[in-house]
Chain A
Amino acid sequence: MPLEDYTIVIGLEVHAELATDSKLFCGCSTSFGSEANTQICPRCLGLPGTLPVLNKKAVEYAVRAGLALDCKINKFSKFDRKNYFYPDLSKAYQISQYDQPICEHGHVEFYVGGEKKVVGITRIHLEEEAGKSIHSGTSISDSDFSLEDYNRSGIPLIEIVSEPDIRSPEEARIYMETLRSILRYIGVSDCKMEEGSLRCDANISLMPKGATVFGTRTEIKNMNSFRAVQKALEYEAERHAKLLDSGEKIVQETRTWDDNLGITLSMRSKEEAHDYRYFPEPDLVPVILEDEFVTDIKNSLPELPAEKFRRYLEEFGLPEYDAELITADRDLAEYFEAVVAIYNKDYKAVSNWIMGEFMRLMNEQGIEVGEVKIKPEDFAAMLKLMDEGVISSKIAKVVFEEMFNTGKEPKTIVGEKGLVQISDSSAIEQIVADVIKDNPGPVAEYLGGKDKVLGFLVGQVMKLSKGKANPQMANEFLKKALAELSKNQ
C-alpha cells in the first residue's frame, strides 16, 4: 500500500551544546575551532586521581531550557555513568543522567501548514559531550585508523527526548527548528547545526493507518542540517513502506544518513546489544534545586517565540507568515520591535522591508542581525522620508542598500547622492514633454487605444529622471499631456 496509508511515528533525541564558557566538569574552554587537543586537561581526559566538579551555569541553563519547554523541574537529580568503549570517549564512560534527569514531562507547540501541533517532551538531561573523530578513509567503515580530538569532550550538553508524537518528516524538521528558536531565545545554546552544537537522532516506525501498536523502529544518525532531518526521514519512511509491502521485516538497527547519496545505510557494528551498565556516578554528589533558584530562572525568561507570534498577530496585525518568520529569530524580532517603537504608522510596511531588502542583503553578505549597520531609528527615518514623498519607493531601495552598507543616516545619503524625489510640477512636465517627443511610436499606439503602452511611457519618465520623479505625478501628468494630444488630433 502507498505510504499515505501508513501512520509515520517519529521521536527525536536532540542534543544541544550549552553556551557555557567552561566545560561541564572542568575549567577547560568550550570555544569552537581551536587547534586539536589544546582544550583538554587531566579531568576531562579522565586521568587517574582526578575528580569532576559540576558547572553551576550548566545546571542553570538546563533548568532554563526545561522551563521554556514547560517541563517539570525535578528538585532532586543525580548523575550516572554510562559505560561503553568508543575512542571519542577517553574515560570509557560518559557522565550522564539516567533515572533521575533534571527535567521531565514538557511539550513544544508549533504550526504545520497552519495547523497547531503539540509534541511532548519526555525528559531533558544533562551530560557531557564526547570528543571528535576524524577518520582516515572516506567513512568510518573503510578507515584503518582514526584521529581523536578531545577539545569537545566534556562540553555540557542537554539531551531533549521527545515523545513519539511526530507524524511526518516535515513535522520533525519544524520541531527541530522550533527547538532551535526557543533555545536561542533563552540564550542557552547557539544551536549551530553546521558546527555540531545542535544535533539529533531520530527514531522512526510505520504502522497501518488506524493501528495502535507501533511498528519496528530504526534509528537514524548523522543528519547535519534541518533539510537533512526531513530528507533522511522521508527516505527512511519510504524504505519501511517498501519493505512492509513486500512482506519483509524491519530490522531494528541504527542507520546513518549519507547526505551525498541521499540514502540511509546500516551501521552494522559487531558490538552487542547496548548494555551501558549505568550506575550512580560516585564522583559527583546529587543536585537539589532550591525553589528560589528555579523561580529566579523562571522570572528571567524572555517572551518566547510562540507568545511573540500571538502578540504580533494581535498587536501589529501581521499575517501569520510574517509573524512566524520574524519571531523565529529573537534578534530579528527585537530589531523589528525597535523599528516599530519609532515608526508605528504601518507595521506591515516594516515587516515587508525586513522580510524583503533587509533579509536579502543579510543573506547576500552572510551576516547576522547583530552585525547589521542600519540603526532602527534610521530604518524608521527612511520610511518617514517615503511617507513624506521625499523619496520614491524605488529610490528607497537604493537608500536602504546604502544604509545597509555604510550605516549612514538616510537623509545624509539622499543629500549626498542627490536622490530627492522630483515633485516639482514644472520639472516633471518638462520630462513628460521630452518623453512624448522622443517616443512618437508608442504615443501613437496609446492614442490609437492601446492603454497598456502607458506603463512603458511612465517607465521612460522614471528612467529619464533617474528614478527620482514622483511616480504618481509622472503617471498623472503623462495622462494629462496625452489627453491634450488626443483632443488636438
Chain B
Amino acid sequence: MSSITKETVCYVADLARLYLTDEEIEQMTESLNKILEFEEQLNSVNTDNVEPMAHAVPLNNVMREDVVEESMPIREAMLNAPDEVEGFFRVPRIIEKD
C-alpha cells in the first residue's frame, strides 16, 4: 500500500495553488493517509468480471440539441471580475519574470 509523504502533500498543494503552513502539511499528511487507509477496504472486494464504472449515475447519452440560448448580460458577468478593463477580465502577469 502506498503511503502519502510530506513531499507528496507539498507537490499536490503546489499544483492546487494552496499555501500550507508546516503544521497544515503535517495535518494533511496524516489525514490523507487515513483516507487512503479507509479506501483500502475496497480492495477486499472481489471485482473479477465486473466492468469498470464510468459514472455513479446509471445514465448515458444525456445531450441537448444545438440551439443558441441567450448569454448573460456582460455587466452581470463582470460582477465576479476582481479587475475589469473595458469588458475584459484583467489578470496579473502570466509568466514569471526571471
Contact = CB atoms under 8 A, between A and B. Distances in A.
B45 interface: no
A127 B71 CA distance: 21
Contacts of B62: 53-54, 284-285
Interface in B46-72: 54-57, 59-72
Contacts, number: 134
B14 interface: yes
B60 A285 contact: yes
A59 B71 contact: no
A134 B90 CA distance: 9
Contacts of B95: 140-141, 267, 269-270
B63 A272 contact: no
| Of B14, B71, B77, B85, most A-chain CB atoms within 10 Å | B71
Contacts of A55: 63-64, 66
A201 B91 CA distance: 25
Given A270-B96, A280-B55, A287-B60, A87 B91 contact: yes
B77 A40 contact: yes
A143 B94 CA distance: 8
A251 to B, nearest CB: 17
Contact of A53 (B56, B59, B64, B90): B64
A157 to B, nearest CB: 15
Contacts of B94: 86-87, 133, 135, 140, 143, 146
Given A37-B77, A42-B72, A269-B95, A147 B66 contact: no
Contacts of B69: 22, 26-28, 41
- Chain A interface residue count: which class? 35 or more
A45 interface: yes
B77 A148 contact: no
Contact of A272 (B15, B55, B64): B15
A36 B17 contact: no
Contact of A78 (B55, B63, B70, B92): B55
A145 B66 contact: no
A72 to B, nearest CB: 19
Given A78-B55, A140-B95, A286-B54, A147 B90 contact: yes
A145 B95 CA distance: 10
A29 interface: yes
A56 B68 contact: no
A248 to B, nearest CB: 22
Contacts of B89: 37, 87, 90, 147-148, 150
B82 to A, nearest CB: 11
7 contacts: A27-B64, A35-B74, A145-B91, A147-B90, A148-B90, A269-B96, A284-B62
Interface of B: 11, 14-15, 17, 54-57, 59-72, 74, 77-78, 80, 85-96
**What 6 A-B pairs have minimum CB-CB distances, sorted nearest first?**
A27-B69, A57-B66, A147-B88, A56-B63, A148-B89, A87-B91
Given A76-B54, A145-B90, 10 more contacts: A27-B67, A27-B69, A37-B78, A53-B62, A100-B54, A133-B94, A135-B94, A145-B92, A275-B15, A284-B62
